[in-house]
Amino acid sequence: MIVINFIVVLGILIFVHEFGHFIVAKWMGVKVEKFSLGFGPKLFGRQIGETEYLISAFPLGGYVKMFGEGGFSEIEMIEQEYERETPGATPVEAYKLTKADEARSFSHKTIPQRMAIVFAGPFFNMAFAWLLLISLYITGMPILKATVGELFPNRPAALAGIQKGDLITAVNGQRIIQWEDFSAHMAKAPDSVTLSITRAGKPLTVELKPEIGETKNLFGETIKKPIIGVSPAYDFVTERFGLVDAFKLGNAKTVEVTKLTVLSLVKLFQGVVPLNSLGGPMMIADMANKAAQTGGATFFMLLAVVSINLGILNLLPVPVLDGGHLMFYTIEAIIRRPVPQKMREYAQQAGMILLVGMMVLAFYNDIIRYFFTSKL
């Protein structure tokens, strides 16, 4: 099952990403020659209209091949060899693209159109995650209730009379749905805080003054923030929300995961997050399998998070990634001519080396993590 879950997760996300490129290319009038899920040798293929739809051997990616995607050299024509049957004969002319060819060629589209086609892949990943999260909040999302678990002695919460089992429903009049909301409000709390709580079914109001304390963030860094000395009771419930609340929560969760993904990349480059924390296909497969065993909502939540990660990573300005192509088109718009072919090739080779290096590192980490780390 672990292999099936892995293929399902990657297959869905790759399809969404490539479908973004595909549908916007079609919308822009570009001829799409191939749509492939996977790389390498063709396992299955079918020609429908002008496009060949493929399933290829290696399920770690996919591609959409568009007519004219690589350009037709600096003079925008398909070169043919000149032949001379006899001395003085007229050479065979190079075949120039017809107006109909140009209308369907990716390289003949305007810079904004090309950028839209390239950006569509990551955008569809982000939009898919956003819609998936909203749907989960409507159909039922496991949430951690803002129920007080442990109280730390001589801290503001204990001194103010808060008790274990109290359900926090508002902070300074702002509605609290889950523990996440409570933590977010407390992180920027003023000197005085009014908590609305429910205790044994009765609403109560408690006023307290947070103190500044040291704690660890997600990246293990020591930070200072307002604290009141409570921890959650880890009371999970599956909650269903109306359309308006689901929309707000879906938006907030999408923004939160996006920010966390970007911040994780920054911390990785800063050396705060160690390189051995990078995960590859085995880690994704393990997470997908565990999520599938836990339940549908957890599996779809993982799908949304990985989709956002995929979208953000593809926007990095690394040649061979979508972000690299967007970088080239931005430069082209500034200098008013395409980036020289040789320069693009060198940059893409460097980008490929970087990408392969990161994949090798991720595979290495997976092997160490799952085969050589002792289980204590």
Positions marked catalytic: 18
Strands 202-208 and 222-227, sheet pairing = unpaired
| Paired residues of 66 in beta bridges | 32
Who contacts 299 (Cβ-Cβ below 8 Å, separation ≥6)? 5, 288, 291, 292
Query: What is residue 368's DSSP assignment?
Result: I
Question: How far apart are alpha carbons 114 and 326 in whole angstroms?
Answer: 9
Q: Which of 310, 1, 300 is closest to 131 using CA atoms?
A: 300
Q: Which long-range contacts (CB under 8 A, 24 or more apart) does 338-342 make?
A: 338/71, 338/74, 341/71, 341/73, 341/74
Whether the Cβ atoms of residue 79 and residue 73 lie closer than 8 Å to each other: yes
Look-up of token digits 């911040």 = 263
Whether the Cβ atoms of residue 81 and residue 93 lie closer than 8 Å to each other: no
For CA atoms 253, 256, 262, 264, give the dihedral sign: negative
The CA-to-CA distance between both ends of the chain, in Å, stands at 26
Question: How far apart are alpha carbons 123 and 21 in whole angstroms?
Answer: 9
Phi, psi of 307 (to 5 degrees): -65, -40
Who contacts 57 (Cβ-Cβ below 8 Å, separation ≥6)? 38, 39, 40, 41, 42, 43
From residue 286, alpha-carbon distances to 121, 198, 200, 238, 281 in Å are 25, 39, 41, 24, 9
- In the numeric block, which tokens belong to residue 37? 């899920």
Who contacts 120 (Cβ-Cβ below 8 Å, separation ≥6)? 20, 21, 23, 24, 25
